[in-house]
Amino acid sequence: MNEPVVVPDPAGVLFELEMLGGSWERRYRKLRPEVEDMPWGTLDPREHPEHLVLAARKSWTGAAFQEHRTGAACAETLRRLIECRAPLDLVAVASRFPLDEMVHVELCARMAMELGGGTEIRHDPDAMILEPRLDRSPLQRCAELVVFNFCVGEALSIPMLHGTWQASVHPLPRAILGRIVKDEAAHGIFGWAFLDWAADQLTEGDRARLADVADQAISAIHELWADIARRPPARDSTVHALGWMQTEAYLALARRSMRTKVIEPLAKRGIHVRSTEERPAPPRVER
Ligand SMILES: [Fe+2]
Ligand SMILES: [Fe+2]
């Protein structure tokens, strides 16, 4: 008899989360007590214009989903680090990253709830992360995941989160972003530590393939920037209260950080990305 075939829902699966509660939640809270220490209940969405609150709910729900994807990416990378026998201390530090990301998922999701609730996100769980190429050696496939997830994604997220944290004025988003920034410091430098350890074992061909992988990750980030460019304009105080940076300031910092925190450190390690061109963002549609 044939195995049943799972046909993915073309509309995608709803991104929603639950807690099991009881002793499992207590164990989790004990591991990361800072989640409950956030100043929950201090932000009143009624003090802000409705359309901006809706945009902020979308933004924080999107952030929760990005953290969820990053959790899967960190877990996959962790497996590949073990497979290629990366240094034990490096692997041990990386084993904390999936837990950090789950904490970030909860923080962002609860921030959306404080603003009135999460918004609908549908996704394909089979297409959340870069799958490693199994025709590569364990070191090569691990390096590809590290470059995609850490040298691009996580290295860029540190200055962006730090900038958003600095710009946020309300205690709640400020505490949430401050916590995430603290955790992300180790995530952001991890990729470089791995590449420096692996340097002697990587060939020129490997580095050229790693540049392709970095290009792929950079293009995906350019698409996110195009989405951000379509956010509704708003006065500084409101945007900062809801945990954003002003769009232009965010994009300027993002472009600068992509160059100094991603492209230049990769080039220093012999990984030269080719296409750094952004596709022009489609015009903003007023609704
Ligand atoms: Fe994170
Ligand atoms: Fe991270």
Residues 22-34 pLDDT 10s: 999 999 999 999 9
User: Any idea which ligand is nearest the CA of 149?
Assistant: 2
Domain hosting residue 87, numbered range: 46-268
Alpha carbon distances (Å) from 143 to 82, 86, 205, 210? 12, 10, 13, 7
Separation CA 172–CA 43 (nearest Å): 7
Going by C-beta distance under 8 Å and a sequence separation of 6 or more, which residues neighbour residue 33? none
Listed residues: CB within 5 A of ion ligand 2? 154, 184, 187
| pLDDT recorded at residue 52 | 85
pLDDT surpassing 60 at residue 181: yes
Compare 225 and 22 and report the one with higher pLDDT: 22
| pLDDT recorded at residue 247 | 81
Separation CA 164–CA 158 (nearest Å): 10
Going by C-beta distance under 8 Å and a sequence separation of 6 or more, which residues neighbour residue 2? none
| pLDDT recorded at residue 248 | 84
- The Å distance, Cα 5 to ligand 1 centre, comes to 34
| pLDDT recorded at residue 55 | 86
Listed residues: CB within 5 A of ion ligand 1? 67, 101, 104
Give a yes or no: residue 156 inside a domain.
yes
pLDDT bucket at 198, cuts 50 / 70 / 90? very high
Total tally of structural domains belonging to the chain? 1
- The Å distance, Cα 237 to ligand 1 centre, comes to 25
Give a yes or no: residue 93 inside a domain.
yes
**Residue 61 near residue 119, CB atoms below 8 Å:** yes
Give a yes or no: residue 41 inside a domain.
no
Query: What CATH number is given to the structural domain containing 130?
Result: 1.20.1260
- The Å distance, Cα 108 to ligand 1 centre, comes to 10
- The Å distance, Cα 8 to ligand 1 centre, comes to 27
Give a yes or no: residue 40 inside a domain.
no
- The Å distance, Cα 99 to ligand 2 centre, comes to 10
pLDDT bucket at 48, cuts 50 / 70 / 90? confident
| pLDDT recorded at residue 3 | 64
Give a yes or no: residue 127 inside a domain.
yes
- The Å distance, Cα 59 to ligand 1 centre, comes to 15
Give a yes or no: residue 54 inside a domain.
yes
